[in-house]
Amino acid sequence: MDADVSVIGLGRVGLPLALSFADRGLRVIGVDNDPERIAALADGRMPFKETGAQELLQRVLAAGTFTTSHVAADAARARDIVLTLGTPSFSHIEIDMRDIRSVLDDLLPVLEPGHGIVLRSTIAPGTTEFVAGYLSKHRGFAVGEDVFVTHAPERIAAGRFLEEIDTLPCIIGGVGERSAERTASLFSVFDAPIVQTTPVQAELAKIWTNILRYTQFALPNLLMMDCEQYGANVFEVIDLVNRDYPRGGMAAPGLTAGTCLRKDFAFSEEKSNAPGMLLGVSRVNESVPLFLVQGMARRLGSLNGRKIAVLGLAFKRDTDDERDSLAHKLIRLLERELADVAVHDPHVASPTTSFEEAVEAADAVVVATNHSEFSRPEALLAVTDRAGGDCLIVDPWNALGVGQVFAYASEVALLSAR
């Protein structure tokens, strides 16, 4: 074995991890079957934005501690093999493990006693034991003695990887004590505290971290829709709930989505003891784009031929990550109403129009992502100036600071003149 650790799946989770291992002096092989990704990395180019990662990539390439391959079997040249492959959910309320299964099949013939496999992807409860069983069944390994299998879930937020890899507790669920010790030793190159547990508890801890957030955001989203029904202001109600109340803490509404939050609840729903409860949570978050479109139609009449500016395509503030963003769903729904949609996002790779062009003479301006740029006072000023007083401002995040989900630009101008 001529490397210390391999990372298979150089996506938003795997690539920063591989680079961070290499930066701590480990010899790292990064594996991905996307030739464009491998070519970009060989050229020293990060394929997506992650704070500090571009400089890190150049540093580890220069140091010679990070090499790449597009062949999964090459990963077996390292002692530890970390899987950071995507784990979407089927529409059948079931984890889609095809990438994991396919890589395991590539690795089976080349695994040797002494190898450690770390599942870093988010997985349904029971998956780590399945992987251990798969290796025993097909190669006869005694997991925990010959080879080692753990789940070490990723809970780092996009944009904060290089900081949080050293601070967030690193949860490790090992199949047998020796598996856990092996992965703990691998991750001890970082400063984060290590917490050992069982595989299924590590799996549950990760998915319930996300379920908690998904549910916490569904409550203000449901309240926002209820407020529309009662003619109430959701931001004022949330302030009443939270202000000086020691047991408050209601979050703010918004377009709640992204690859993780949108699908991880399904891994729990697979075998839920309260079937449908989390599906209900999902339905609330998924209803917000339709709620916004219907709210616009109620105020403006038919949206056919009306210019609607959508500000933001990313699912998350200040990132370039568009995967599973509800902004796309919002745009699809608006297009189904025959609206003329103009989109602006200062962060994403997809081409969009400039802010000024998007809001110019718009009948409605919708803030779909709460990017910091939209919270600068100049942004609201530009909307009211360029779009005119009849423009409907739709801002479930209150990013522009209007304090209403639906408000006419003329009302906003009056407010700021007071």
Ligand X SMILES: NC(=O)c1ccc[n+]([C@@H]2O[C@H](COP(=O)([O-])OP(=O)(O)OC[C@H]3O[C@@H](n4cnc5c(N)ncnc54)[C@H](O)[C@@H]3O)[C@@H](O)[C@H]2O)c1
14 binds ligand X (CB under 6 A): yes
Nearer to ligand X among residue 8 and residue 186 (C-beta): 8
Number of alpha helices (DSSP H) and beta strands (DSSP E) in the chain = 15, 15
| Distance, C-alpha 95 to centroid of its chain | 17
Q: Look up residue 43 and give its two tokens.
A: 């050229």
Backbone angles phi, psi at 30, to 5 degrees: -100, 125
Q: Where are the beta strands (DSSP E) in 175-228?
A: 194-197
**SS3 for 129?**
helix
Whole-angstrom distance, CA of residue 245 vs CA of residue 27: 52
For ligand X, the closer CB: 32 or 322: 32
**Can you list the alpha helix ranges (DSSP code H) found in 270-393?**
277-300, 326-336, 355-359, 377-387
- Contact between 260 and ligand X by CB under 6 A: the answer reads yes
Determine contact, residues 295/405, Cβ cutoff 8 Å: yes
User: Of 4, 154, 228, 363, which one interacts with ligand X (CB under 6 A)?
Assistant: 154
Contact segment (CB under 6 A) with ligand X among 18-26, 31-39, 306-314, 383-391 equals: 31-39
Q: Which stretch binds ligand X (CB under 6 A): 81-89, 162-170, 197-205, 342-350?
A: 81-89
Q: 319 with 158: CB under 8 angstroms? A: yes
Per CB under 6 A, the segment of 79-87, 231-239, 245-253, 355-363 that binds ligand X is 79-87
Parallel/antiparallel/unpaired status of strands 78-83 and 3-8: parallel
Residue choice 22, 72, 281, 311 for contact with ligand X (CB under 6 A): 72
Query: Which of residues 5, 7, 13, 95 is near ligand X by CB under 6 A?
Result: 13
Piece of the chain touching ligand X by CB under 6 A; list 30-38, 50-58, 189-197, 288-296: 30-38
Closest residue to ligand X, judged by C-beta, is 11
Give the shortest CB-288-to-ligand X separation in angstroms: 21
Give the footprint of ligand X on this chain (CB under 6 A).
Answer: 8-14, 31-34, 37, 72, 84-87, 99, 102-103, 121-122, 154, 158, 259-260
